[in-house]
Structure 1
Amino acid sequence: MKFLALFLIALLASCHGAEVAESLAAQERSVSSNIVDGLEALKIVMENGSEKHNIPVVSPLKLEHRQFSFSTGELSANGEVQDFTLEGLSAYDIVVMKTNLILSRIDYELNFPSLNLTTQYKADVGSGYRMEREGGAFLALEDLNISGRISYSLGVISGELSVKSINVYVKVGKVVSEIENLSKYRILNDKLNEIIVEFITLSINDNTDWVANYINELLTPMCNNLIDGRSLSDILGLLTNL
């Protein structure tokens, strides 16, 4: 998440790096193009990592072992995953990237054809009674669309950069769930996977405003803490020396 915040700051700093002699429309096109170039370069960093900046490979994202625990109402689960692999983080298409320098905002839309994970799991699940399950699992979010707006301000005299809001709206076209051994009966196992698909789909598509508010409350102060009152020239200098 911190890496994402740093990248957003870099994008915002680039918004005022265009030559002032250009027309406003030309500046906006230039800035939008620079952001697109940055997002395309980010794909390479995600796939190869960066030893210089201590950034690991995150596409695919691989975890050997992780514990998990959650509780929702009467349902609770504790367990672990092994050989976790998440594919598709760097396979996004940039649908919209539009900068408005007068209103100090960036409108964007990204589309992920498929974000999918495979893993082996063990879980102790409780809902009135307890049961232990383990096996393989495959989950996918297909046609995942992420859009929104980043608003910022720039001090007229100080040049201090500040993030005002980061709006992120998420929609998913299709969810795939193929989790083994939720039940020893195949027909019931298929039905439970259908319930998982419905739950994830509704959780994402029917809670876009809640997700947007949550991400904004998380990322906006994080970005401003990293900026720490620096001016635009300060940030551009730091980025140049990376």
Structure 2
Amino acid sequence: MKSVLLIALIVALGSCQGAEVAEPLAAQDRSFSSVILELVEEFRVVLQNGVPSYGIPVLAPMTAAKRSFEINSGEFSGTFGVEDFVLEGLDQYEVITMNMDVFRSRLTFEFLFRSLNFTTNYEVDMGSGYRIKRNGGAFFALEDLSIRGRISYSLGVLTSNLRVKDVLIYPSVGNVNSQIENLSKYRIFNRKLNEVIEEFVTLTINDNTDFVAKWVSEQATPVCNDLIGDRTLSDIIAIITGGF
């Protein structure tokens, strides 16, 4: 997944400034924003086909045969497992905005995912004073998910090394659709519990955009710079033009 983050960052920032960028991409007569938009569209191919040479698997759809997680939080402890997990929609994004500000060295963008959803079979075995065991099928979707953001960067004067200064992401969601089976053995209660989940996720996303932006910046910025390492802008362009 770290490799995916690097490729995504490269796609977003690779076409930053100057003839050094324009010539390898044969885009001297196009705006920087247009070049980036083209690369973002090409990234759809990465999601659909992967890039084996960089260890990136197919991510659209993203699948997992079986995964199990240990949960230990205060009074709650137990296991949560999924089987036949399929996440769809990562490649079905619309580019609403894509603007490169060369003078301010930053990229602003907005993506819209009409439906980012997963299906799976789940099994939960939790203990919190009494034992809770549940299993069944599940469908969960974030609909009209908007991802707005800004990436600020800098280039070394002599080396052209790329450094990410901050990565700000502001998400919002139009609707949440939760269809998880067997939360309760009573159908009406099961529907109500799914409605509680839908409302909780909607409020968590839409009412905490500033918190998410700060958290993503703190987590993603050092990771991005670590992944970029000592690569120059020419190195990054070579990865873009050769990786696809």
Aligned partner of 2:224 in structure 1 is 223
| Matched residue count | 238
Structure 1 segments of 4+ aligned residues over 4 angstroms from their partners: 17-21, 26-29, 71-77, 237-242
| Structure 1 portions without partners, runs of 5+ | none
Contact 1:121 1:137 in 2 (8 A): yes
Distance 1:109 1:34, change over 3 A: same
| Structure 2 portions without partners, runs of 5+ | none
**Following the alignment from structure 2 to structure 1, what is the Cα–Cα distance between the partners of residues 241 and 169?**
28
2:169 aligned with 1:152? no
For 1:64, the aligned partner's letter is A
For 2:101, the aligned partner's letter is N
**Following the alignment from structure 2 to structure 1, what is the Cα–Cα distance between the partners of residues 207 and 30?**
34
Aligned partner of 2:61 in structure 1 is 60
Aligned partner of 1:93 in structure 2 is 94
CA positional deviation for 1:205: 1.1
**Following the alignment from structure 1 to structure 2, what is the Cα–Cα distance between the partners of residues 114 and 48?**
20
Q: CA RMSD in A?
A: 2.5
Give the SS at the match of 1:217: helix
2:209 aligned with 1:208? yes
CA positional deviation for 1:224: 1.1
TM-score, length of structure 1 as denominator length? 0.88
Contact 2:119 2:137 in 1 (8 A): yes
**Following the alignment from structure 1 to structure 2, what is the Cα–Cα distance between the partners of residues 45 and 158?**
29
For 1:211, the aligned partner's letter is V
Contact 2:72 2:78 in 1 (8 A): yes
**Following the alignment from structure 1 to structure 2, what is the Cα–Cα distance between the partners of residues 127 and 31?**
55
Aligned partner of 1:33 in structure 2 is 34
For 2:115, the aligned partner's letter is S
Contact 2:71 2:78 in 1 (8 A): yes
TM-score, length of structure 2 as denominator length? 0.87
**Following the alignment from structure 1 to structure 2, what is the Cα–Cα distance between the partners of residues 73 and 139?**
27
Question: What whole-Å deviation, never above 9, does each CA across 1:41-69 have from its counterpart, x for those lacking one?
Answer: 11122112233433211101110001124
Distance 1:196 1:162, change over 3 A: same
Aligned partner of 1:180 in structure 2 is 181
